[in-house]
Amino acid sequence: MRRIISGPAFALLAAFGLGAMAIWVSGGNPITSFGAMFAGAFGSGPTVAETLVKSVPLIITGLAVALGLRAGLFNIGVEGQLLVGGLCAAYVGYAVKLPAVVHLPLCIVCGMIGGAAWGLLPGFLRAKRGVHEVITTIMMNYIAFYLTHYLVTNPLKDATTMAPQTPEALSSAWLPAFGGLHAGILLALICLAGYAFVMGRGVFGYEVKVVGKAPDAARAAGISVTGTLVRAMLISGALAGLAGAVEVLGVHHKFYDQFSPGYGFDSIAVAFLGGGSALGTGLSALLFGALRNGAVGMQLATDTPREIVTIIQAIIIVMAGTKFVKNSSGSGGGADDPL
Instruction: Determine how many CB atoms are found less than 10 A away from the CB of residue 202.
Output: 13
Q: How far is the CB of 70 from other proteins (least distance, A)?
A: 12
Tell me how many degrees the CA angle 253-258-264 measures, rounded to the nearest 5.
Answer: 95
Q: How far is the CB of 203 from other proteins (least distance, A)?
A: 4
As a whole number of angstroms, the distance between CA 275 and CA 161 comes to 44
End-to-end Cα, the chain, rounded Å:
22
Do the beta carbons of residue 281 and residue 192 sit within 8 Å? yes
As a whole number of angstroms, the distance between CA 211 and CA 224 comes to 9
Residues 276-335 that bind other proteins (CB under 8 A): 331-335
Q: How far is the CB of 15 from other proteins (least distance, A)?
A: 27
**Three-state secondary structure call for residue 4:** helix
Closer to other proteins at the Cβ: 219 or 252?
219
Q: Which one-letter amino acid corresponds to residue 157? A: K
Q: How far is the CB of 166 from other proteins (least distance, A)?
A: 37
What is the DSSP code string of 81-93?
HHHHHHHHHHHHH
DSSP character at residue 159: T
As a whole number of angstroms, the distance between CA 296 and CA 289 comes to 12
Query: Taking CB under 8 A as the rule, does residue 27 contact other proteins?
Result: no
Closer to other proteins at the Cβ: 154 or 336?
336
The size of the interface with other proteins (CB under 8 A), counted in residues, is 27
Q: How far is the CB of 200 from other proteins (least distance, A)?
A: 9
- Per-residue x/- mask for other proteins, residues 150 to 189, rule CB under 8 A? ----------------------------------------
Strand partners, 116: none
Query: Taking CB under 8 A as the rule, does residue 149 contact other proteins?
Result: no
Q: How far is the CB of 219 from other proteins (least distance, A)?
A: 6
Closer to other proteins at the Cβ: 128 or 201?
201
Closer to other proteins at the Cβ: 70 or 292?
70
Residues 186-225 that bind other proteins (CB under 8 A): 201-204, 206-207, 209-210, 213-214, 216-224
Q: How far is the CB of 205 from other proteins (least distance, A)?
A: 9
Do the beta carbons of residue 238 and residue 251 sit within 8 Å? no
What is the DSSP code string of 23-54?
HHHTT--HHHHHHHHHHHHHSSHHHHHHHHHH
Which run of H or E residues covers position 181?
strand 181-182
Radius of gyration, CA atoms only, the chain: 21
Measure CA 253 to chain center: 20
Query: Taking CB under 8 A as the rule, does residue 339 contact other proteins?
Result: yes
Closer to other proteins at the Cβ: 216 or 307?
216
Residues 118-137 that bind other proteins (CB under 8 A): none
Q: How far is the CB of 216 from other proteins (least distance, A)?
A: 5
Closer to other proteins at the Cβ: 143 or 198?
198
With a CB cutoff of 8 Å and minimum separation 6, the contacts of 100 are 171, 172, 173
Closer to other proteins at the Cβ: 232 or 298?
232
Q: How far is the CB of 273 from other proteins (least distance, A)?
A: 20
Which run of H or E residues covers position 177?
strand 177-178
Closer to other proteins at the Cβ: 79 or 207?
207
Closer to other proteins at the Cβ: 25 or 339?
339
Residues at the contact surface with other proteins, assessed by CB under 8 A: 201-204, 206-207, 209-210, 213-214, 216-224, 331-335, 337-339
